[in-house]
Amino acid sequence: MTALPLTLDDIADQRAYERERDSFRQAVISHKKLRRVTVGPVVTLTFESRMTMRFQVQEMARAERMTTDEQIQRELDVYNRLLPAPGELSATLFLELTTEEGLRTWLPRLVGVERSVVLEIGEGPTRHVVRSVPEEEHETQLTREEVTSAVHYVRFPFTPAEVAAFEAGPVTLLIDHTGYPDGSPGVVLSDATRAELSRDLAGE
C-alpha cells in the first residue's frame, strides 16, 4: 500500500493553478532541496512525496492542457504509483547527461544502475544495508540489456529495525555499480534530510 493517494480533489483546475503556481513552485523547490542527493558526477536521486507528485501532475496537466477528470485521473494513476508506502522510500533516479558524448559514455556503462543504489545505515556490526528496487510498472519500460535509461523510479523497502536505525543515523547513500566507481564511498545524508525522509518512513 502506498501513502494516501492523490485524488481529483487535490488537483486544481487550470485557472486556479495559475493563481497559485508561482508560490507552489517555490514551495516545491524548497521542499526538494532536502530530498535531492547527488552522488558522483552524473547520478542524482530525488526522494518523492505527495507534494512532488502533485506538482508533477499539475505541471503535466498544464503543459498538455488537460481539462477532463478522465485525463487527470490517468496521470494520477501513473504518479500515485511513485508515492512511498509507510516503511519505504521512493525516489526518481536521474542520470544528469546533457551532451551526446555523455549519453554515449554513461548509458551503456550504467546498465543495472536502478538496482545499485544503497543506503548504509548506522556503523560497525549493527550497520544495515537497504538496496534500491525498481518500481515494477516502469521497470519493463525502462530496463534494457545493452543501454540504460536516463531516468529510473526506485523504492527502498525497510524493516522496522532499519527504520529505527535510519532515524538514529548516520546514513550514507552510495552507488555500488562496477561501472560507477565515483559513486562510492557515497554521500552522508544531512540531519535535516534524514529527518525529512524519516517522516516518509513513518507514513506522515
pLDDT digits (tens, 9 = 90+) for 99-138: 999 999 999 999 999 999 999 999 988 899 999 999 877 6
The one-letter code for the residue type at 112 is: G
CA–CA distance, 120 with 86 (Å, rounded to integer):
19
Residue 1 falls inside a structural domain: no
* pLDDT value at residue 135: 86
Residue 179 backbone dihedrals phi, psi, to 5 degrees: -90, 5
Mean pLDDT over each residue of the chain, to the nearest integer? 93
DSSP 155-200: EEE--HHHHHHHHH--EEEEE--TT-GGGSS-EEPPHHHHHHHHHH
Residue 111: phi and psi, rounded to 5, are -55, 130
109 found inside a domain: yes
Domain count, the chain: 1
Measured between alpha carbons, how far is residue 139 from residues 97, 157, 199 in Å? 20, 16, 26
Could you tell me which of 110, 112, 79, 117 has the C-alpha nearest to residue 96? 110
For the stretch 65-109, pLDDT in tens is 998 999 999 999 989 999 999 999 999 999 999 999 999 999 999
pTM of the predicted model as reported, rounded to 2 decimal places: 0.91
Give, rounded to a whole angstrom, the gap between the first and last alpha carbons of the chain. 14
Examine residue 107 and state whether it is found in any structural domain, yes or no.
Answer: yes
By residue range, what is the domain housing residue 66? 8-201
